[in-house]
Structure 1
Amino acid sequence: MIKIGLTGWGDHTDLYVSSPKEKLQDYSAHFPVVELDTAFYAIPTKRNVEKWIRETPNNFQFIVKAYQGITGHLRGESPFDSLEEMFARYRESIQPFKECGKLSMVLVQFPPWFQCKKENVDYLYKVRTELKDFEVAIEFRHQSWYAPTFKEPTIQFLQDNHFHHTVCDEPQVGEGCVPLIPVSTSNRVLVRLHGRNTYGWINPGDSEKWREVRYLYDYNYEELFDIQKICEELHTNAKEVVVLFNNNSGGHAAKNAKTFQQMLGIEFEGLAPKQLDLFDGGI
């Protein structure tokens, strides 16, 4: 099975036909999975999680991003007294998704400064222990994990510790990015498409709008065709391939995802009953 979705449901204006409060319902009429990216900035409240569960179809899936304190992105003082407390609070927040069958996996995306070295490998063991009851995908952002000396050990480590591998498509502009490594380490694999905006990746600016610069990209047909071949090959080894478009800032993600769905000839079942034919034009 190949599933297609987007990172977040709040920035895709072409999808919405209802009030601003019903964006998730409108989104779930088009795609069967979404990345809950707001969990990176703050651990979701029980109230919000229960609301999102109610608003989506029974077979809808969430990929919940790990909180920034877990991945080492947090700047400033932590709101938690210990790392163990942070993990406990995070587990508590995502447990309702798991209990109702709507948790696809947890995405642990490490920063570009998280290099392949012993203390970071030890921390990965810590993550596996703290999230032992959950499906976990690992995304690296430093090339050292895939350097010739470490590539095979990295893949083997993920496999041995029951981590799903995250395959990334992004600009190749230095150590703070990773090559596209089309390998699965389990029966599921996550593919995240960040776009290929090389200039924006190098020069995101210092403003709060850096994401709007970095992820401004519109995949063309030839690029999507290459990604299609990669995903189909991954599907020969992995039972489930989840593809997430993260090129949100220019409004291209939903359109690209719909075109990609058409190229694969996939019809998603069990969507919310608001499906509209907004994307017939493709690219």
Structure 2
Amino acid sequence: MIYIGVTGWGDHHSLYRYSVSQRDKLKEYGAHFPIVEVDASFYAVQPKRNSEKWVSETPANFQFIVKAYQGMTGHQRGEIPFSNKKEMFAAFRDSLEPFQKAGKLAMVLFQFPPWFDCTRQHVNYLRFCKAEMGEVPVALEFRHQSWYSAVFREQTLQFIKSEKWIHTVCDEPQAGAGSIPIVLEATAVKKTLIRFHGRNVHGWQHPSAHNWREVRYLYRYTEKELVEWVDRLRLLEKQTQDIYVLLNNNSGGDAADNAKQFIDLLGIEYEGLASKQLDLF
């Protein structure tokens, strides 16, 4: 099965046809897509009351991809509010309990930064992360090109498979060492993750210091570019049971529209979505 959604639920204005408060947007989001990426967990380990609320506001078969806390992936450069890594991982695992109890945790996404290159030290850290997460399904996304260089590509894929990570296939600008190519390989029989970051090469290479996120992900996929992915998804379907597709190109509000366009191109009709709210008129 192919599940399509977007990253976060607060900024996709085309989904909300009337005035919806920020706290109620997830309820409406669940009428459009069967999955979502939780990005709040990247900025802070979330209190259980938040995940309990999110679980309660979504349909029974809805699934969450929860992004790993930035301190776990090396993004955070300042103080981490934990005394050590063991404590940090334990707190994060505990925050997942409501998702797991409801059967709504698709996976946790470990997205590593562009400076996390293919070295023995980093390979060992990946082993540490996997051990700390135990039986929680975890997806691995690289940003440094070295992991898929001619020298390391096959070893990287074999490592991801043997260590039981879910491979994250990325569609992103090809902008040198800080980006990765499309690698159409599934490493887990049950699940594969695909993330669409847009193809804004200039924004990827030269983001503004003040609004880098708005610049980097400013891109709208054309129908031709999405059609190219239909055959790629069919190829991956032969390798894995379920494919989770997340569109992250939302600087200009394009992710939700592209996601719906993609669903139409694939001829998918999801069952069990939330009921759409009635328009005022």
Give the TM-score, by structure 1 length. 0.95
Task: Quote the residue 1:281 is aligned against.
Answer: none
**1:19: how far off?**
2.2
Task: Quote the residue 1:152 is aligned against.
Answer: 154
Q: 1: CA distance between counterparts of 2:175 and 2:204?
A: 8
Equivalenced residue count is 276
Structure 2: which amino acid aligns with 1:194?
H
Secondary structure of residue in 2 paired with 1:34: strand
Q: 2: CA distance between counterparts of 1:176 and 1:141?
A: 6
Task: Quote the residue 2:141 is aligned against.
Answer: 139
Q: 2: CA distance between counterparts of 1:73 and 1:104?
A: 23
Secondary structure of residue in 2 paired with 1:129: helix
**1:48: how far off?**
0.6
Check the 8 A contact 1:146/1:154 in 2, yes or no.
yes
Check the 8 A contact 1:140/1:178 in 2, yes or no.
yes
Deviation per residue, 1:82-135 (Å, 9 max, x gap): 000000000000121011100000000000010111010000110110001200
Task: Quote the residue 1:164 is aligned against.
Answer: 166
From the superposition, tell whether residues 66 and 151 of structure 1 become closer, same or farther in structure 2 (CA, over 3 Å).
same
Q: 2: CA distance between counterparts of 1:81 and 1:108?
A: 21
What are the equivalent positions in structure 2 for 1:6-45 lying under 5 Å apart?
6-16=6-16, 17=18, 19-20=20-21, 21-45=23-47
Q: Which of residues 103, 106, 116 in structure 2 aligns to 1:114?
A: 116
From the superposition, tell whether residues 191 and 30 of structure 1 become closer, same or farther in structure 2 (CA, over 3 Å).
same
Structure 1: which amino acid aligns with 2:187?
T
From the superposition, tell whether residues 276 and 269 of structure 1 become closer, same or farther in structure 2 (CA, over 3 Å).
farther
Deviation per residue, 1:254-273 (Å, 9 max, x gap): 11000100000000111000
Q: 1: CA distance between counterparts of 2:277 and 2:8?
A: 18
**1:223: how far off?**
0.3
Deviation per residue, 1:166-215 (Å, 9 max, x gap): 000001111011011011001211000000001111111110x2111100
Task: Quote the residue 2:5 is aligned against.
Answer: 5
Q: 2: CA distance between counterparts of 1:73 and 1:139?
A: 13
Q: 2: CA distance between counterparts of 1:276 and 1:247?
A: 28
Q: Which of residues 201, 204, 226 in structure 2 aligns to 1:198?
A: 201
Q: 1: CA distance between counterparts of 2:34 and 2:277?
A: 12
From the superposition, tell whether residues 27 and 124 of structure 1 become closer, same or farther in structure 2 (CA, over 3 Å).
same
Secondary structure of residue in 2 paired with 1:148: coil
Structure 1: which amino acid aligns with 2:15?
L
Structure 1: which amino acid aligns with 2:57?
E
Deviation per residue, 1:208-228 (Å, 9 max, x gap): x21111000000011001112
Q: 2: CA distance between counterparts of 1:219 and 1:119?
A: 37
Task: Quote the residue 1:87 is aligned against.
Answer: 89
Q: 2: CA distance between counterparts of 1:54 and 1:216?
A: 32
Task: Quote the residue 2:192 is aligned against.
Answer: 189
Give the TM-score, by structure 2 length. 0.96
Structure 1: which amino acid aligns with 2:236?
L
Q: 2: CA distance between counterparts of 1:158 and 1:18?
A: 44
Check the 8 A contact 1:172/1:178 in 2, yes or no.
yes
Task: Quote the residue 2:212 is aligned against.
Answer: 210
Sequence identity (%): 55
From the superposition, tell whether residues 18 and 236 of structure 1 become closer, same or farther in structure 2 (CA, over 3 Å).
farther
Q: 2: CA distance between counterparts of 1:228 and 1:194?
A: 17
